[in-house]
Structure 1
Amino acid sequence: MTRRGPFLLTVPMLALYLVVLCLPLAMTVVLSFQTYSHSAGMGEGFTVSNYLRVVTDEYYIEIFVRTLRISVITTVVCLLIGVPEAYIVSRMRSPWKSIFLIVLLAPLLISVVVRTFGWSVVLGPSGPFNQLLRAFDIPTLRLLYREPAVVIALVHVLLPFMIIPVWASLQKLDPMVESAGLSLGASKSTVLRRIVFPQIIPGILSGSLIVFGLAASSFAIPGLLGGRRVKTVATVVYDEYLTQLNWPLGAAIAFVLLATNLAIMLAYNAMLEREQRRSIG
């Protein structure tokens, strides 16, 4: 009975995992192989035509490319902003460290829809951004319903998910190690590159994967700020399910997105781990 104790303790969580995640995913996969016609609806037959349509139709290929482009740009911008910001916050003293952490996490307390509507007002033709450009006699920019607007809102929403993992990795570092490197004649940039950066790669990896995954599957922000012009995979799945009522095709698109995200994340994980081993060695 003692040997079965740890296994029995995991049974409730395993059952919840199977019911909440694995079962809906399996049903989605089964649904993606069903036939569909506009006249008769879903059929009972088995077909791979839905997947062939997704990977061969230029319309869907363009949407996948756009979704991945927006996700990569969002991840890179979050990296460029989040890593230095996490480093600065980690080197602050109390009470400023706690205050700035609250400021960084405060946007998470506001609904994504509310924040997205706020950005639609700011980036709109008559919004504060274009009014500021007019005040300096600078030509206004059409940002709303374009990719830059989607990227800006995604960075605002997802930046805390990059900062927190990097900040957690920085908390594990001993500040005296940096001081030792500086006392031995290394420059500040060398200490950051050779001592700090290799040790926070796990935090960078975690933050990048979280931001990329959330950006690639985001629905509210592309739907509200991208509109019908900037369609992403999530908005297309929504259209197929609720507008076209083509559930098998929507399920196939969703599963292709899942497989693509997993492939990119695994490749990115392997690359960063290889670079970390090389730098440490």
Structure 2
Amino acid sequence: MASPSTRANPSPGHNTGAGSDADRAGAAPWLLSAPALLLFCALLLVPLLLTVVLSFHVFDGSQGTTAGFTLKHYAAVLTDPYYATIFARTAGLALAVTALSVVLGVPETIVLARMKRPWQSICLLIVLGPLLISVVVRTLGWQILLGNNGVLNGALQALHITSEPVRLVFTMTGVVIALTHVLVPFMVMSVWATLQKLDPQVEWAGMSLGGSPLRVLWRVVLPQILPGVLSGSIIVFALSASAFATPALIGGRRLKVVATAAYDEFLGTLNWPLGATIAVLLLIANVAIVMGCSRLAERRFKHIFE
């Protein structure tokens, strides 16, 4: 029979085996995720790093991009009012599209969540169906609809609402309309995922305690779907701020945003370092705005719904 001291103090070899098992268990998640992390680094982080390095290269009109280090591209973008206007226009576009996506997408998702089958599945497929079509094809469709001889202007003149075509193509209004149609499904998907976790009995409890449907919606439903609204807003803002195809086709070359300006520098003037600088600054601004607005909104909405 083993003595009490032997039972209380296991052998050192036993401790070593337990520690090695714990180390292997702790390293298992990293080993399993290593292929995905390597693929992520190869496809995303490495190109981003190369773009950052390219933005510091020297550009010469006769020789093109040459080796060297310079900050003049960042100084040019940050001090030139032309680029300030482009960045301000892009921010305004992203905010307008995000606000419209919230106004249209949140009520639409709430209505979809309360529909009965099979209408719920059919309507959800209609809302998410445009994601199956290329964004270029959808934008070209909006260009036809919003044109001076398009369906929208034809209907307005046929109803005698306007006497002449309303100019929507090559305007910010047309870009906002087309880009909102492109990105609303992302808002719907984010809010839909949150609504699926919402217990309907919570709403019934609020109504049984005397709350009106509108009050229950404001005090019970909206606070619980707020994470989905915030996630959808972040996705829509990031995608609209970096959108290229829709602003290029609907806005044209005169109504430039940051993405089209970077494209022109890369393929128009062949000033790759300046184009890389614009892209890097767009990434930095996008990340800073999204993270700042996310934290601020989370703090503010907690106090609003209390």
| TM-score of the pair, normalised by structure 2 | 0.89
Shift of 1:3: 3.5
CA distance in 2, matches of 1:279, 1:134: 45
- Indicate yes or no: 2:168 matched with 1:143: yes
- Indicate yes or no: 2:43 matched with 1:20: yes
- Indicate yes or no: 2:248 matched with 1:206: no
Residue by residue over 1:161-203, the C-alpha shift from the partner in whole angstroms, topping out at 9 and shown as x without a partner, is 0011101111111111111111111122211111111111110
CA distance in 1, matches of 2:280, 2:54: 10
1:66 aligned residue = 89
Equivalent AA in structure 2 for residue 164 of structure 1 = M
CA distance in 2, matches of 1:3, 1:262: 31
SS in structure 2 of the partner of residue 231 of structure 1: coil
Residue by residue over 1:208-239, the C-alpha shift from the partner in whole angstroms, topping out at 9 and shown as x without a partner, is 01111111111111111111121111111110
1:42 aligned residue = 65
Shift of 1:279: 4.9
1:9 aligned residue = 32
CA distance in 2, matches of 1:251, 1:115: 28
SS in structure 1 of the partner of residue 67 of structure 2: strand
> After TM superposition, which residue ranges in structure 1, 4 or more long, deviate above 3 angstroms?
none
Superposed, which structure 2 residues align to 1:138-177 within 5 Å?
138-139=162-163, 140-177=165-202
CA distance in 2, matches of 1:141, 1:280: 42
Contact 1:74 1:151 in 2 (8 A): yes
Shift of 1:276: 4.1
1:188 aligned residue = 213
Superposed, which structure 2 residues align to 1:80-91 within 5 Å?
80-91=103-114
Specify every segment of 5 or more residues in structure 1 that has no aligned partner in the other structure, as ranges: none
Contact 1:219 1:235 in 2 (8 A): yes
CA distance in 2, matches of 1:121, 1:259: 35
Residue by residue over 1:253-275, the C-alpha shift from the partner in whole angstroms, topping out at 9 and shown as x without a partner, is 00100011111101111012213
Residue by residue over 1:64-117, the C-alpha shift from the partner in whole angstroms, topping out at 9 and shown as x without a partner, is 111111111000001000000000001112111111111111111111111111
- Indicate yes or no: 2:80 matched with 1:57: yes
Equivalent AA in structure 2 for residue 274 of structure 1 = R
Q: Give the superposed CA RMSD.
A: 1.2
Shift of 1:128: 1.0
Residue by residue over 1:117-170, the C-alpha shift from the partner in whole angstroms, topping out at 9 and shown as x without a partner, is 111111111111111122133132101111111111101110100011101111
- Indicate yes or no: 2:56 matched with 1:33: yes
Specify every segment of 5 or more residues in structure 2 that has no aligned partner in the other structure, as ranges: 1-23
Residue by residue over 1:42-78, the C-alpha shift from the partner in whole angstroms, topping out at 9 and shown as x without a partner, is 1222111111111111111101111111111000001
Equivalent AA in structure 2 for residue 28 of structure 1 = T
Equivalent AA in structure 1 for residue 240 of structure 2 = A
Contact 1:124 1:143 in 2 (8 A): yes
Between the two proteins, the alignment pairs up a number of residues equal to 281
Contact 1:123 1:143 in 2 (8 A): yes
Shift of 1:280: 6.3
Larger gyration radius, structure 1 or structure 2: 2
CA distance in 2, matches of 1:191, 1:2: 47
CA distance in 2, matches of 1:133, 1:276: 40
